[in-house]
A and B are shown apart, each in its own frame.
Chain A
């Protein structure tokens, strides 16, 4: 299995809702990442998990809460989002050696906040 699977593919949520994005990989990668991508912009790194521990938080607002329950699964819990948080959320994984060619990205969750 050489894929990163993200669910759901599309999500519409209200500003008072709580929702979660899910990311799964079975490549044995011990580093996992969340990126946010606005329209016509490059992906921006949000969080990095290494060996199931949060190692990098790029000053992301607390309404985004990541979780790594095990080495194959990464979640992003969403609460009290704003319309400007609407974006494509991408998950990626890699070996912790971090060679730049080794990143595998999912197809993303397109989030709309209304």
Chain B
């Protein structure tokens, strides 16, 4: 799986959009970008994933650059409950039952 680089921490004001970057410059053509988050003392939770195109669901939007070497997770209207560690993971879509590999992630703190 390709390596990812994320800033260790970020702050965002409540009600504003939170933009979390992820660098994955060695991504392969068959690898997807996945985002999970972990709220304190809970298990990780799936947010969104994508291959080439931008994606949106009820939780977030995912913007992937045209060269696919980086991406941005957007939480459009951040709330205090969005304070969590956000993990960007790159792996083959049908990679089999081999587990997810977590990097250090970004600790997003939403300020009131």
Chain B hits for A94, CB < 8 A: 97
Chain A hits for B38, CB < 8 A: 43
Query: With A88-B41, A108-B42, A108-B43 given, is the CB distance from A103 to B98 under 8 Å?
Result: no
Chain A hits for B103, CB < 8 A: 42
Q: How far is the CA of A55 from the CA of B95 in the complex (A)?
A: 14
- Residue of B whose beta carbon sits closest to that of A100: B34
Q: How far is the CA of A113 from the CA of B101 in the complex (A)?
A: 26
Task: Give A101 Cβ to nearest chain B Cβ, in Å.
Answer: 5
- Residue of A whose beta carbon sits closest to that of B32: A100
Task: Give B78 Cβ to nearest chain A Cβ, in Å.
Answer: 22
Minimum-distance CB pairs A-B, first 10: A105-B43, A31-B97, A42-B102, A100-B34, A45-B99, A50-B97, A98-B96, A98-B95, A96-B97, A101-B49
Contact sample, A vs B, 28 pairs, CB 8 Å cutoff: A4-B43, A31-B97, A35-B99, A42-B85, A42-B104, A43-B38, A43-B44, A45-B99, A45-B100, A48-B97, A48-B98, A55-B97, A56-B98, A92-B44, A94-B97, A97-B96, A98-B98, A99-B93, A99-B94, A99-B95, A100-B49, A101-B49, A103-B46, A103-B100, A105-B43, A105-B44, A108-B41, A108-B43
A residues in contact (CB < 8 Å) with B:
4, 30-31, 33, 35, 42-45, 48, 50, 55-56, 88, 90, 92, 94, 96-108, 110
Q: A43-B102, A99-B95, A103-B44 are in contact. List 10 more A-B contacts (CB 8 A).
A: A45-B101, A48-B98, A97-B94, A100-B32, A100-B100, A101-B34, A106-B43, A107-B41, A107-B43, A110-B41
B residues in contact (CB < 8 Å) with A:
32, 34, 36, 38, 41-46, 48-49, 85, 87, 89, 91, 93-105
